[in-house]
Structure 1
Amino acid sequence: MSEAKPVKVIILGKEFHIACREEERDDLMTAALHLDEKMRHIRSNSQIGSFDRIAVMAALNIAHELVQAQSQNPPPPQNNRAITERVVAMQERIDAALAAATPDDK
């Protein structure tokens, strides 16, 4: 595996630098685009204005989609740990990016 390097993603007009290994870069970019779309949809269809609140609502919606998909097509037991580890790693990257945002960004 390669060393993690910063990758720039833009979510809801805000720039974040996320550490990511080269072999995971495309997945990160796809995830960032999906998150951006979810957040834009929430912002345009609700009265929520805070970036943090929009991010939490988007995370809950995406987690709900994941739970539904897993209940319809449960992965083989040997893949559960790998999937959980990837979801946890992505959540840690999102948390780090949100924590790095300046108060003006929130």
Structure 2
Amino acid sequence: MSTTTLDVNIMGQIYTLACPADEQAALLAAVREVDTEMCAIRDMGKVRARERIAVLAALNLAHSLIESRNANKAAGASAQASLAFEEDAQAVAQLTRQLDDALGAEGKLL
């Protein structure tokens, strides 16, 4: 796997970064996210120090990532619950059919 270097601009400063060649697009997307977040914090005017802006941007991005993960977990849990409910409904229907068969035509449950 070959490594490539990229010069990127984050909040007006150039950084030289190395990454695997096949991950270049993902790195550039990450750079855009970080730059956007840092510039937004800087443009609010309350924070001036680049290091503090970087920490706040990292916290904001980490918070967004955690929220996204939690939403995915909730969606997965909901899908699992729905699947379990469907399986339970099928099991109840099967059991009802078996009981109906056992009781015969005179004693149908449903």
| TM-score class normalised by the smaller sequence | 0.5 to 0.7
Unaligned runs of at least 5 residues, structure 2: 77-110
In structure 2, how many angstroms separate the alpha carbons of the residues matched to 1:15 and 1:29? 13
Shift of 1:45: 1.1
Shift of 1:41: 0.4
Q: How many pairs does the alignment contain?
A: 74
In structure 2, how many angstroms separate the alpha carbons of the residues matched to 1:47 and 1:73? 33
| Structure 1 runs of 4+ with >3 Å offset | none
Q: Which has the larger radius of gyration?
A: 2
TM-score by length of 1: 0.66
Shift of 1:66: 0.3
RMSD: 1.3
What percentage of residue pairs aligned between the two structures are identical? 32
Higher relative contact order (CA 8 A, sep 6+): 1
In structure 2, how many angstroms separate the alpha carbons of the residues matched to 1:63 and 1:71? 12
TM-score by length of 2: 0.64
Shift of 1:3: 2.4
